[in-house]
Amino acid sequence: MRPPLRELDKPLVAVVVVLSTYGLATLYSAGQTDVTTFATTIWHKQVIWLVLGLGTLLAASGLSPRLLEWATPYFYGVVLVLLVMTLLGGKSPTGAPVGRSWLGIGGVRFGQPAEPAKLACIMMLGRWLATRREPPATLRELVRPTVIAFVPAVLIVLQPDLGSSLVFVAILFSMLFWAGTKPTLLLLLASPVIGLVLAVSTVVWGAWILLLLGLVLWWRPYVWEGLAVMLANAASGALALPFWKHLAPYQQSRLLTFLNPEEDPRATGWHVIQSKVAIGSGGLLGKGFTLGTQKRLAFLPAQHTDFIFSVVGEELGFVGVCIALALFAALVAILLRIARRASDPYSSLCVFGCGAMLFTHIAENIGMTVNLVPITGIPLPFFSYGGSFLLLCAASVGISLRVAWESRLSGYIEL
Amino acid sequence: MTGPHPAFHPHLVARRVAASRFVLFGTMAVLVLGFFRTQILGHSKYELQSETNRLRPIPVLAPRGLIVDRQGKILAENVPGYTVSLLPGDETSMRASLERLAPFVKLDTAGIDAVLARYRRAPYLPALVLPDASFDLVSQLEERRLIIPGLVIQPEPKRYYPDSSVIAHLIGDIGEVTEAERTQRRFAGLRLGALVGKDGLEREYDDSLRGSDGLRFVEVSALGHVVRDAGAAPTLAPVPGAMIHTTIDLDLQRYIARNFPEGHRGAVIALDPNTGAILALYSAPGFDPNAFVGGIDPDTWRRLNDNEAHPLFDRAIQARYPPGSTWKLAVAAMALKRGLVTLDTRMPIPCRGGLQYGDRYFRCWSPQGHGDLTLSEAIAQSCDVYFYQLGLKLGLSSLLEDADALGFRTSTGVDLPGEIRSDFPSGPEYYDRIYGARHWTAAVTLNLAIGQGENAQTLLNMVRFYQMLASDGRERPPYVVHPPAQSDVMLGLTESQLEGLREAMVSVVRRGTARGAAGRYAVTIAGKTGTAQNPHGPPHGWFIGFAPAEKPTIVVGAIVEFAREGPYVAPLVARVIARYLGVDTTAEPEFTLPTDTAPRPMQLLPGIEHPDTMLKVPDTTTQPPDTTHAPAP
């Protein structure tokens, strides 16, 4: 049974409609440069994607969570096959760094399977966590969910697309958290990655190992667990250098640039500097819709995809930025509310996972435009041009609308 | 939330919701603060940068890698040069600057529009005005810097080929990356205006040679003048390209270019039969690749393209010629491998100047005939009648099958761009398709047996075949820089059969069709002449030889178009071989014409025009129209 339109969650519908409109207007403006480029008319295509997105949203809201739960393993399997096919014969969009993120069949680009993979990962984790009576309590029990999230993530790293694969890490941790896993256990699970990052400095890394040793002794997990954690940390510390060398030069430069954009080791700092100049020159009220000078002169890099938020900052100023941030915060808060009220664990976990996924995209994409986080090139929901990702966002919202409707039917009462 | 799952007890969920909200609103607060810092606190600073002082990136060209020969002698290097460009600004001020520049750099209105078009394609990069400015011009412009806002004069490495046309086809040339190329994966991420290899080794090994361009930032004032050079942000140093070591012997290459008959077209290839390393690859006429550096001017380009000798065309790997009698060794090798003949086998019908087959009479090149010959003698004399019968003995399907196995239908895979495939029928179906089933006879075998008919080979592919004869019978695919993977193509002959063939080829030079070509050199040269019928004029002359015949260390193949008048082909090859082996070449050989002029081709199928489909050459503007047509059947 499909929920009647008037029974859909009104705040969520309203926020999504406003965000989509805001995003489309920004995309239109991003194409208004002094020099006509392919981006000038790209908003035409985005309108088509929005229409398709609306269809996806309504279709997803028509699927009962039981049906989704049943179909989850098949969906996950299909997505993995697509990811492997992409690796074997993928296409890189022109002009981007060499990569294979597009699925092409017979020379036609079909989309980026990394996007549905995020949803598949959320659903698969939700299914696994929901069927258990207890939250995972030992590291051993965390192996399965970690594998579920890391298989697609590793396939995407190989494309290579480090940014998208980090989203899977965020999904994994947020859903484990929502399923009730103890924070200490999550910290132990995360410790090798933290160690990897801290290995840039031997002193810092040594301090981290000592701290971790103290924590392990304090929390007293199983002996083998404690050993495994310490070994994994030692290994990641030793692997840090080879791993760094294995990164593509553009990935290295992005990280270095984040640490010190003025040093500008590979001229990637150009992107951050230009983005900051555009945003900073926008001031409180901005230069006016479609009137951004940095954008018009094509100083902004990737202004219709990764750096679209810089256009908001330049043209609509701090006020426009705050409005957008408030809308995004409202979106995630509403999903959190729906997840809380959901009538069964699977639905709740799926909605929370979708919220966490959107939140990661929002924080990362907006944060990088003012150099709060390193550049990773993941898109901004409802703003960035791109079909696959927009459809993913629409599907997430559709599933959430359905879950909200079901909990309403079952008569949710707040305690 | 009700339900059996204890982890989703409402109290526990409420705690998690609180934690999640904390993360959500905390992150949003950090973002708001980040934007507050940039947009409100940093506003004046960034507004100034955006309005008055803008950072402009200027690419710093990476020096391309050197290309050197086997002894380290330079084939391609870089010399200092200057480029003049204009920083991007609004179009009116750029036009004004260009008009002030015009008298110095000789820009007409079309030139100004071209610069502006370049600017529109990459509005964030300096627009190139003059790729190659002289020092005098640079000093003149420096004096007038103040009246020309946005002027950028950069010292840049300029590609230089010291040997110019001697190595033109081998080395290729460079030019600006085109829009179409930028969509290809190997050139993805290159900026507009970047220089890439366009042909030859420059293209094949562009990835290594290119290096990566650096970047420096200059700050420009509101008036467009450069106010601070490289101070605003440190320069990113360019990474020079890697050096390429080739197998070329520059001395030999120069020697070939010097000795190639003046005013003639053709090609010469020398390679080491034991490795496949190409020692020299020359195509005539040549061109000056230096003219392409920094953009070729339209007049020169038109001259090169309209020239009926098509100098841009690499005759060593891009032209197919009927192999003529050089092909007879291939037929001999096939028959020997199949055990149908030995080197002493005689054919049933001795040569009386021709052979009656069916209702047609196939002529030998020598009207008076060669008499009764063994296979060795037939090779030495290049007797057509012997090979007509050998072809019939071998049979059409075996001939086609073996030719395929020996690589006569493919390209050699040499590491040079633009190599074309050699052509040979794939099987009897080919004739069914062209003429219709049952509308052709086994007589096509006779033509195929003497290197005529539907057979067109590149010089490199024929030289590759002779490399097998000159070594142990195994193919070593030709290469210039990186040796390719081992090939499993082989002649399948015994050592004594190979020696017998080499002896027959020594007789070609001693007593046979190339006698006298190397008579006075203190080295035994083995080889085979060939004459390719050509409907557009005199036939093309071939000679492929190797030496020392006992243990060859060099194979040289040459083709000279319309060579009938000139007795050069065999002596030219002999001279190149002698030079390489360090033999005294002052003792000039007596000139001898390659005399095995092939008979006029037989009209096998009256009324049927020769099917052009097979021998068609790719459509390029540099295609000579007259080199690849086989004689009519």
B570-587 pLDDT per residue, tens = 888 888 998 898 876 665
pLDDT digits (tens, 9 = 90+) for B237-292: 788 889 999 999 999 999 999 988 888 889 999 999 999 999 999 998 888 888 88
CA A370 to chain B, closest CA, distance in angstroms equals 7
Residues 45-104 of chain B whose Cβ lies under 8 A from any Cβ of chain A: 45-47, 49-51, 54-55, 57, 88
Take residue A11 and report the two structure tokens written for it. Answer: 């705040």
pLDDT at position B518 is 60
Question: What is the distance in angstroms between the CA of the first residue and the CA of the last residue of chain A?
Answer: 29
Helix (H) or strand (E) holding B527: strand B526-532
pLDDT at position B613 is 31
The Cα B230–Cα B24 span in angstroms is: 42
Residue B25 and residue A179: Cβ atoms within 8 Å?
Answer: no
Chain A residues lying within 8 Å of B124, measured CB to CB? 297-299
Chain A residues lying within 8 Å of B12, measured CB to CB? 180
A vs B, Cβ pairs < 8 A, gives 160
Q: Which residues, other chains included, contact B126 with Cβ-Cβ below 8 Å and sequence gap of 6+?
A: B56, B58, B59, B85, B86, B87, B88, B152
Higher pLDDT, A1 or B262: B262
pLDDT at position A93 is 47
Residue A228 pLDDT grade (very low, low, confident, very high; cuts 50, 70, 90): confident
Query: Among A184, A295, A296, A299, which would you mutate to test the B interface (most chain B Cβ atoms within 10 Å of its Cβ)?
Result: A299
Of A130, A325, A343, which has the smallest distance from its Cβ to B31's Cβ? A325
The greatest distance separating any two alpha carbons of chain A, rounded to the nearest whole angstrom, comes to 65
The Cα A29–Cα A238 span in angstroms is: 48
| DSSP one-letter code for B346 | B
The pairing of strands B67-68 and B244-245 is parallel
Ramachandran angles phi, psi of A93, nearest 5°: -65, 145
Using CA coordinates, name the residue in chain B closest to A332. B24
The answer to whether residue B348 scores a pLDDT higher than 60 is yes
Higher pLDDT, B1 or A160: A160
* Mean pLDDT, residues B551-566 taken together: 81
E-state strands within B258-412: 266-271, 278-284, 320-321, 354-357, 360-363
Asked whether the beta carbons of A20 and A412 are under 8 A apart, the reply is: no
Chain B residues lying within 8 Å of A264, measured CB to CB? 233-234, 236
Take residue B253 and report the two structure tokens written for it. Answer: 């290459």
The string over A277-299, giving b where at least 16 C-beta atoms fall within 10 Å of a residue's C-beta and e elsewhere, is bbbbbbbeebbeebebbbbbbbb
Asked whether the beta carbons of A120 and A169 are under 8 A apart, the reply is: no
pLDDT digits (tens, 9 = 90+) for B514-524: 766 665 677 88
Q: How many CB atoms lie within 10 A of CB A203?
A: 8
Question: What is the distance in angstroms between the CA of the first residue and the CA of the last residue of chain B?
Answer: 90
SS3 A225: helix
Residue A109 pLDDT grade (very low, low, confident, very high; cuts 50, 70, 90): low
Residue A281 and residue B57: Cβ atoms within 8 Å?
Answer: no
Residue A265 pLDDT grade (very low, low, confident, very high; cuts 50, 70, 90): very low
Chain A residues lying within 8 Å of B45, measured CB to CB? 280
Residue A97 pLDDT grade (very low, low, confident, very high; cuts 50, 70, 90): very low
What's the mean per-residue pLDDT of chain B? 81
Strand order across the B226-229 sheet? B54-60, B214-220, B226-229
CA distances from B531 to B138, B323, B403 (A): 56, 7, 20
Higher pLDDT, B454 or B628: B454
Burial (CB < 10 A; 0-12, 13-18, 19+), residue A393, is: buried
The answer to whether residue A338 scores a pLDDT higher than 90 is yes
* Among candidate residues A242, A319, A265, A257, the one with its CA nearest the CA of residue A288: A319
According to DSSP, the residues that pair with B216 across neighbouring strands are B58
Take residue A184 and report the two structure tokens written for it. Answer: 């200490």
pLDDT digits (tens, 9 = 90+) for A36-49: 566 778 889 999 99
Asked whether the beta carbons of B298 and B349 are under 8 A apart, the reply is: no
The answer to whether residue A383 scores a pLDDT higher than 80 is yes
Of A270, A328, A370, which has the smallest distance from its Cβ to B38's Cβ? A370
CA distances from B406 to B130, B329, B331, B616 (A): 51, 12, 11, 22
What's the mean per-residue pLDDT of chain A? 84
pLDDT at position B615 is 35
Query: Among A34, A35, A409, which would you mutate to test the B interface (most chain B Cβ atoms within 10 Å of its Cβ)?
Result: A35
pLDDT at position A278 is 86
The answer to whether residue A98 scores a pLDDT higher than 70 is no
The Cα A404–Cα B14 span in angstroms is: 17
Chain A residues lying within 8 Å of B15, measured CB to CB? none
* Among candidate residues B62, B298, B257, B238, the one with its CA nearest the CA of residue B171: B257
How many percent of chain B have pLDDT more than 70? 85
Using CA coordinates, name the residue in chain B closest to A328. B28
The Cα B365–Cα B321 span in angstroms is: 19
Of A31-35, A197-201, B161-165, the range with the highest mean pLDDT is B161-165
The Cα B144–Cα B131 span in angstroms is: 19
Residue A397 pLDDT grade (very low, low, confident, very high; cuts 50, 70, 90): very high
Higher pLDDT, B234 or B420: B420
Residue linked to tokens 């409402």? B10
B24 near A CB under 8 A: yes
Q: DSSP 3-state helix, strand, coil percentages of chain B (rounded to 5)?
A: 35, 20, 45
* Mean pLDDT, residues B384-395 taken together: 91
Chain A residues lying within 8 Å of B88, measured CB to CB? 297
B522 near A CB under 8 A: no
Q: Which of A285-299, A337-351, B393-407 has the lowest mean pLDDT?
A: A285-299
Q: Which residues, other chains included, contact B173 with Cβ-Cβ below 8 Å and sequence gap of 6+?
A: B197, B198, B199, B200, B202, B289, B292, B293
B215 near A CB under 8 A: yes
Residue A266 and residue B20: Cβ atoms within 8 Å?
Answer: no
pLDDT digits (tens, 9 = 90+) for B211-242: 888 777 776 655 566 665 544 444 677 888 89
| DSSP one-letter code for A261 | T
Angle between helices A65-89 and A387-409 (to 10 degrees): 170
Asked whether the beta carbons of B35 and A313 are under 8 A apart, the reply is: yes
Take residue A220 and report the two structure tokens written for it. Answer: 């007293």
Asked whether the beta carbons of A284 and A317 are under 8 A apart, the reply is: yes
Query: Among A181, A293, A340, which would you mutate to test the B interface (most chain B Cβ atoms within 10 Å of its Cβ)?
Result: A340
Give this prediction's pTM.
0.60
The Cα A80–Cα A238 span in angstroms is: 31
Q: Which of B51-60, B88-97, B313-322, B459-468 has the lowest mean pLDDT?
A: B51-60
The Cα A93–Cα B18 span in angstroms is: 42
Chain A residues lying within 8 Å of B215, measured CB to CB? 267, 270
B182 near A CB under 8 A: yes
Query: Among B31, B47, B87, B239, which would you mutate to test the A interface (most chain A Cβ atoms within 10 Å of its Cβ)?
Result: B31
pLDDT digits (tens, 9 = 90+) for B65-115: 999 999 999 999 998 888 888 887 777 778 888 888 888 887 788 888 888
- Beta-carbon-side half-sphere exposure of residue B168 (alpha carbons within 13 Å): 22
Of A94, A340, A367, which has the smallest distance from its Cβ to B183's Cβ? A94
Cis peptide before B548 (omega within 30 of 0): yes
Ramachandran angles phi, psi of A103, nearest 5°: -90, 120
Asked whether the beta carbons of A140 and A229 are under 8 A apart, the reply is: no
Using CA coordinates, name the residue in chain A closest to B216. A267
Residue B43 and residue A280: Cβ atoms within 8 Å?
Answer: yes
